[in-house]
Structures are given as C-alpha cells and as structure tokens.
Amino acid sequence: MAKNSTLTDHEYIQINQAIFSLRNVYESGLRKEKGDAKNELSIAELGVLMVLGQADKITSRTLSVMMDLTPGTISQYVNRLRKRGLIDQLRDENDRRIWWLTLTKEGHDVYRSSYRGAVQYTRDMISMLDAREQRLLHDLLVKTSHGNGYEWQ
C-alpha cells in the first residue's frame, strides 16, 4: 500500500501530531461554539447526523461500515439520537430484520444548522492558507480518506 517515501520517521511523527492537533482544534472549537451543555450532541453524534443528512435512508449496518465503528457503538449513538427526536428507525416492509434510519424534521433542521456551522468553522480554521493551499489540503485529505476506505459524499 505504501509508496516510496522521502519522509523521515520524524516527519511521519509531525504528520501524526498535526492530525492530532487539528482534531483537538476542531473539537475544542465546536465545544466553545456550542457550550458544554449536557444536551448538546457529541462530535460522534454530529458525525452520524452528517452521514444521515446526506443519505435518504440507511441501515445501521451500512452506517457502521461507513463510519468504521462497531455496530454496538452505532447502536448507542442511534439510540441517543432517537431519544432526542432526531432519528426515526423504520422497519423494512419486505425484510423485517432490516431497520432503516432516517432523519426526522427536527433532525434535518439540526443537520442543516450543523452543516452550515461546520462549513464556517472549517473555513475559519484553514483561513491562514491561501486558495491554492486550501484546494491542495482538500484534495489530499479526500484522497487519503478514500484511500483508507472512507467514501464520504
């Protein structure tokens, strides 16, 4: 999978540290933006909403595969989001073993608000990059995520 590299071990560690730092920046920025209220969605729950917001309907199994999370973990997120009235679980009419996940009206509202917030927050987070660098960052991150099996829309 790995191609010939001119990076040193130290440079790989720098990439690792940069990814960790960006994750921290992103998570702490979202916490500051929404406050630390007990009823706010976790970043993982927001991730579930973002995937469901881009899909008409999806099964828990498919969601689990897309997000690379165990079915049990997805089940926990789905149950919390259902209790908040953001997700509906609908049984498949042809195969009663299958449950479809969809966003409720309130779930769509939260998704749209979260989507706009994520766009603005990400725009601000990378604002120190010029347009060419932003495009390069986008392309490299998409290529890397796709190369690791994540096919986001």
pLDDT in tens, 110-138: 999 888 888 888 898 899 999 999 999 99
Question: Any idea what the Cα angle at residue 51 is, between residues 49 and 57, rounded to 5°?
Answer: 95
Examine the domain organization and report whether 89 and 114 are in the same domain. Answer: yes
Q: Is pLDDT of 152 > 90? A: no
Other beta carbons within 10 angstroms of residue 117's beta carbon come to: 14
Q: What is the mean pLDDT of residues 81-97?
A: 92
Using 50, 70 and 90 to split pLDDT, how confident is the model at 36? very low
- Residue keyed to tokens 């191609």: 3
Examine the domain organization and report whether 117 and 59 are in the same domain. Answer: yes
Examine the domain organization and report whether 129 and 63 are in the same domain. Answer: yes
At 148, which amino acid appears? N
Examine the domain organization and report whether 75 and 113 are in the same domain. Answer: yes
The whole-angstrom separation of Cα 153 and Cα 111 is 15
Q: Is residue 3 part of a domain?
A: no
Count of structural domains, the chain? 2
Examine the domain organization and report whether 91 and 24 are in the same domain. Answer: no
At 140, which amino acid appears? L
The whole-angstrom separation of Cα 129 and Cα 115 is 21
DSSP 54: T
SS3 140: helix
Q: What is the mean pLDDT of residues 11-39?
A: 75
DSSP 96: T
Stated pTM of the model: 0.74
The whole-angstrom separation of Cα 130 and Cα 134 is 6
SS3 55: coil
